Amino acid sequence: MPRPISATINLGALRHNLAVARRHAPASRVLAVVKANAYGHGLLRVVRALSAADGFALLELEAAVQLREAGCTQRIVMLEGFFDARDLAVLLEHRLDAVVHSGDQLELLRALPSGGKLGVLLKINTGMNRLGFTLADFPAALADLQANPAIGQIMLMTHFANADDERGVAWQMAELRRLAGDISLPRSFANSAAILRYPETHCDWVRPGIMLYGSSPFADQPAAALGLEPAMTLTSEIVAMQQLKRGDTVGYGGMFTADRDMRIGVVACGYADGYPRHAPNGTPVAVDGRHAGTVGRVSMDMLCVDLSPVPQAHIGSRVVLWGEGNPVENVAQAAGTVGYELLCALAPRVPVTESE
């Protein structure tokens, strides 16, 4: 028999979450972010489910070509742009748009044949300080692109550093208004957090990412309160049980010591499946629909759960590691990380099924 662990991708939840994004930004087109194998959910599966999106954004050139070859006709944007002249040839051949964020890229673009028309998103660094032209360099970069006969549509783009926390977006929006307020070009500014909280950022195109997969971008607001549904549910089963006496320890390094006689369940899931090894005691799981917590250090193939809240649990009891009934952001918060990391880390050895 195969190990009982599996991940289920709910296609209906993906479509529902796209509809939530559209309700928040009804006047904007949607560029669905599907980088990192669609946040671990499966690129082609997600793109099929999100066929109502106006376009898709990702980083991997091979994946973008795969989408075109699979029949995707919507706009496809490369979020890190291109790295050499060979990439540019692929972009033109497959009608892919590119983010332009550096002077080196501008130089490569000057060598493009004028017969090609490459759509570009000119990225402005308004404070993220990762990619993009500084406020001082932006005017010259824009002029360079506008003078290039090989360039098609130009869109302005930035990325918010604090849309999900108290600082918000006002400081970056002020820079954008000062720099590009009178420039008549399409714009794409809003990520998931900005879509949900800052309608002034929506503009022509929005770029939902984590919200499409049913996880909240906010530490202080759960996904359910935002109307989002989890798209991935990772489940396994209890495969063994142990009766501990007070003072017994559990797992490598004895990271948990029983303060009473208790029963624990051994679950077929570990860090080789994508579960975080650093998850502490008490990280939430759901056993037969009841809330419980982990005990001891997560090992490669197994983790242990305190069954005190679930006295009826038995070998074969269903365990939700994250997803429906156990939101991924709760697991991430307990483990000191973000839901993005957990979803993207789903291991190839975990079987994946689809549901509606």
CB 58 within 8 A of CB 79: yes
Q: How far apart are CA 304 and CA 296, in angstroms?
A: 7
**Alpha carbon 338 to chain centroid distance?**
10
Helix axes 85-93, 61-69, angle to 10 degrees: 20
Report the chain's terminal Cα–Cα distance, integer Å. 26
Catalytic residue among 213, 252, 271, 275, which?
A: 252
What is the number of residues in the chain? 356
Q: How far apart are CA 172 and CA 158, in angstroms?
A: 9
Mark whether 35 is an active-site residue: yes
- With CA atoms as reference, report the closest residue to 190 among 27, 14, 49, 13: 27
One-character DSSP codes across 246-266: TT-EETGGG-EE-SSSEEEEE
Mark whether 39 is an active-site residue: no
Q: What is the dihedral of CA 72, 77, 79, 80, to 10 degrees?
A: 100
Catalytic residue among 35, 39, 198, 340, which?
A: 35
Positions marked active-site: 35, 252
